[in-house]
Amino acid sequence: MTSPPGAPSQEADATRSARATLPANVWAVTITSFLNDISSEMIVNLLPLYLYGVLGVRTTLIGLIEGVAESTSSLMKLLSGRLSDRLRARKGLALLGYGLSTAAKPFLMIASSWSWVLGVRFADRLGKGVRTAPRDALLADSVSPDRRGFAFGLHRAGDTAGAVLGLAAASGVLRLMNPGGGGLTRATFQAIVLISLLPACLAIVVLALGARDVPASLASDSGPRLSPAGMDRRFRLFLFSVVLFTLGNSSDAFLILRSQTLGVSVPQILGIMILFNLVYALASGPAGKLSDRVDRRLVLTVGWALYAAVYLGFSLADAAWQAWGLMAAYGLYYALTEGVARAFVGDLVPSERRGAAYGLFHAAVGLAALPASLLAGILWQGIGGWAGFGPRAPFVLGALLAMAATALLWRVPTTQGMRSGAA
């Protein structure tokens, strides 16, 4: 259809206006994630240090804990996503998930062995599994396709800004309780867990009062439907590339432990994670906007290639200062991929099946995370009588698999035309 003279500028004005007035759901979900991540990031980056340094747990078991936790989360995402499609009720499941995670956190205060931590992480990730797919589907349903990348980018920016504040708060408590700059103690960890409960509870209140379910018809797309077998070919190919990538993407706990082997102290590790999350937060919105204007595959491809470079850098690093630059680049990788990948799923799948699609997407990531984390721990420290290859090995494997997945991703057929033509 030919546009009348002057139409391009009118369309541009309309797009700018639309971006400035995102629906209330986007803001409610973003603020909820902001508050919840303040809580989560106060704990999650210290947990591997607590396990390794305080409880004396080997890296193989740390990999097992993280892998089981993430796989549990992913299986539940698959179920909750499908359930949210059937019930047409995204918000209730999201609230339930946030509630489960919040209820699990206090038990870390009495955790005295790796099995206790495994139980708490299992319950926490169970809650994440319940909430994530319905929440992402609610976000995708709330905006039109030409704003989807920006909406998810804004959500990731809010989530990660919360991580920055959470890490800053944990760092403050650590310095206050350990003014001499010593390592993490059990008392300090318990205090941080206790403080983290406040923003977690506030997150539930914000979502309960600020969000509402959206009928599928308000955000229906003109793109292809999933096949009767369950998945469109493009979606299947995308999932396969994600699984291949994730097999080399072990838990970020190994990046923290690797930084420690380079001579980075516990307070400095929190500083590195603040830098990582700050870059992630600042770049997520622009990356999402960029993916609305160009082929989303291009943005994802650049992000995965950057990941390969970062992991290769960690395998070769031999000084503490190098960890700072590598983690900053790692934050940029996250910004280029996390929100954009979720927006891409929304492009590939119609509204009435998005809950199931997001569940499949997150399940693919989480189920691959179990062997990825287990393999990383084994390569690092061995198993049984085998000593392993040392701390460099997991990062070499991650870089190689990321490069292979990047090549495969580019074979996923584009949806750019579909996005621009959808209502």
* pLDDT of the chain, 423 residues: tens digit per residue: 444 444 444 434 444 444 457 788 999 999 999 999 999 888 887 888 788 878 877 777 777 777 677 677 777 877 888 888 888 788 989 999 999 999 999 998 888 788 888 888 888 888 988 998 888 888 888 888 888 888 888 888 888 888 889 888 988 888 888 766 666 788 888 899 999 999 999 999 999 999 898 865 444 444 444 443 345 778 888 889 999 998 888 778 788 888 888 888 877 888 888 899 889 888 988 998 898 888 888 999 999 999 999 999 998 988 889 999 999 999 999 999 988 888 888 888 777 777 888 888 877 887 787 788 778 878 876 665 554 677 788 889 889 999 999 988 888 776 544 443 332
CA distance to 5, 17, 18, per residue, from 11 (Å): 12, 10, 10
236: tokens are: 């299947």
Tell me whether residue 231 is in a domain: yes
The CATH number of residue 408's host domain is 1.20.1250.20
pTM above 0.75, yes or no: no
Contact 156, 284 (CB under 8 A): yes
As for how many domains the chain has, the answer is: 1
Phi, psi of 386 (to 5 degrees): -90, 130
By C-alpha distance, which of 251, 267, 275 is closest to 324? 275
By C-alpha distance, which of 171, 177, 183, 176 is closest to 266? 183
Tell me whether residue 120 is in a domain: yes
- Residue type at 192 in one-letter notation: I
- Sign, CA dihedral 30-36-41-42, equals positive
By C-alpha distance, which of 339, 330, 329 is closest to 287? 339
Domain span at residue 154 reads: 23-421
Tell me whether residue 33 is in a domain: yes
Number of Cβ within a 10 Å radius of residue 397 = 19
Tell me whether residue 4 is in a domain: no
Contact 207, 54 (CB under 8 A): no
- Sign, CA dihedral 46-49-54-60, equals positive
Tell me whether residue 395 is in a domain: yes
By C-alpha distance, which of 216, 99, 86, 81 is closest to 135? 81
Q: How many helices (H) and strands (E) does the chain have?
A: 16, 0
Number of Cβ within a 10 Å radius of residue 416 = 15
- Residue type at 336 in one-letter notation: L
Contact 340, 148 (CB under 8 A): no
Q: What share of the chain is helix, strand, coil (3-state, %, to 5)?
A: 80, 0, 20
Query: To the nearest 10°, the Cα dihedral for 22, 25, 31, 35?
Result: -160
Q: Coil, helix or strand for 278?
A: helix
Tell me whether residue 2 is in a domain: no
